[in-house]
Structure 1
Amino acid sequence: MKKLLINLVFSSLSFIGYSDEAYQKAMTQSIEKLFQATTIPEYVEIANQFERISNIEKTEWLPLYYASYAYIMISFQEPENAKKDQYLDQAQKYLDQAMAIEPNESELHMLQGFLYPSRITIDPMNRGMELMPEMNKSLDKALELNPDNPRVYFLRATMMFHMPEAYGGGAANALPLYQAADEKFRIFKPKTELSPSWGKEINDAEFKKVQEVMQK
């Protein structure tokens, strides 16, 4: 009887370890596919994969984070505004679910700040005044939770760069933000192998572009 109990304990431990290993493997493969995706169908497929993972791992916020990110990326490719909003509704749904699991995660508040500009681009005149304060509030919260989150600085720099100078935007005002993002990316270390780590390459490209504009 004692031997049977010991075997059951070790069998349970092995199962738990395998489950964690399977989760890590599924997430790693899905994240790789996400950042290789280039078309809407590819993004939809990988978002569905993250949703399936989240349905199994109900206490993990990362699958929902990446599913939301995928739909935000879809919105940038979709030419029809009505469909853009539908995709962003889906992104918001996943993000809300992730927030319910981990409300004090900087990356989730950063992603919320990333989602708002996608909404604004659909109707800048009517949505800008309403959603810009919400975006800034989300990014402020992300920095409060993690002052070294480089994606927050990158997003603010990008918004500043593409904002008209009459409203306080432009290359000159964006440059120090890209510089700050560059410094944060250089020292940034993800919490885990699955944690968000994207943004450095595009920040490098945008930082260079702003520097070139300033030299003209």
Structure 2
Amino acid sequence: MKHLITTILLICTVAFTFAQNGDYTAQLEASVKKLDQAKSVGDFQLLEKTFVQLGNAQKTEWLPYYYAAFCNAKTGFLLQDDGEKIEPYSIRGEAQIKKSESLAKGDGKVLAEIYVVQAMIYRTKVFISPMTMGRQFGPLSDQFLKKAQKLDAENPRAIYLEAWTKYYTPKLWGGDKDLAKELAGKAIQKLGNAAFGVVPHWGKAESEALLR
């Protein structure tokens, strides 16, 4: 009888775990679909909260924290002309992307995705005050982009971020708008065959914006 009760409890636990995992997957898929359509600061901040909740519920998955950090990075880019508002987003984003990295289990392709967003987060810190924070966080952003490219040279999001950097860096300091557009076109080409779902697939709209 005791053995039977133990077996029943084990079956119930497994069934509950499967139900939880199914619910998590469905919520993550729905949230990523909404992220694909997000455009405003409000959109990204609502989704950040959702991804944080998913991460806190699941605890072992890198994707929710990655997407929460990405939402904060996008918010920072949208607010780049209003630097004083960016700091709380950059602080949260940095903590979230480091949490995502801690869950990546050393997977090079995953780390490449994470480092692209980490480079974006450090770029948002430059936006806060280019004169005082640019010297520290500009090179740090470049460093993480290079780490991403070393792990996955063909990652279209890394290619996009290099294009963005080349486009907005003054020519005197190594900027090159023609090269930036060439890189943006390369990113778009690679994203033409991108698989959708919950894996990172953003970057097409951002790359297209550099070609306008």
> Which TM class, normalised by the smaller chain length?
0.7 to 0.9
Q: Which of the numbers 81, 91, 101 marks the counterpart of 1:89?
A: 91
Query: How far has the Cα of 1:147 moved from its partner?
Result: 2.4
Distance in 2 (CA, whole Å) between partners of 1:175 and 1:44 is 30
| Counterpart residue number, 2:51 | 50
Q: Which of the numbers 182, 199, 203 marks the counterpart of 1:199?
A: 203
Distance in 1 (CA, whole Å) between partners of 2:201 and 2:180 is 22
The sequence identity of aligned pairs, in percent, is 25
| Counterpart residue number, 2:61 | 60
Query: How far has the Cα of 1:197 moved from its partner?
Result: 0.6
Distance in 1 (CA, whole Å) between partners of 2:147 and 2:39 is 31
**Aligned: 1:136 with 2:142:** yes
Distance in 1 (CA, whole Å) between partners of 2:103 and 2:192 is 29
CA RMSD of aligned residues (A): 2.4
Give the direction of change, closer, same or farther, for the CA distance of 1:150–1:20 in structure 2 (3 Å limit): same
Query: How far has the Cα of 1:4 moved from its partner?
Result: 5.9
For structure 2, the 5+ residue unaligned runs are none
CA contact (8 A) 2:185 2:207 kept: no
| Counterpart residue number, 1:101 | 103
CA contact (8 A) 1:149 1:188 kept: no
For structure 1, the 5+ residue unaligned runs are 210-216
Please give the TM-score of this superposition, normalised by the length of structure 1.
0.82
CA contact (8 A) 1:161 1:170 kept: yes
| Counterpart residue number, 2:25 | 24
Give the direction of change, closer, same or farther, for the CA distance of 1:133–1:103 in structure 2 (3 Å limit): farther
Please give the TM-score of this superposition, normalised by the length of structure 2.
0.84
- Which has the larger displacement, 51-60 or 127-136? 127-136
Distance in 2 (CA, whole Å) between partners of 1:186 and 1:48 is 30
Matches within 5 A, 1:66-215: 66-78=67-79, 80-102=82-104, 104=106, 105-189=111-195, 193-206=197-210, 208-209=211-212
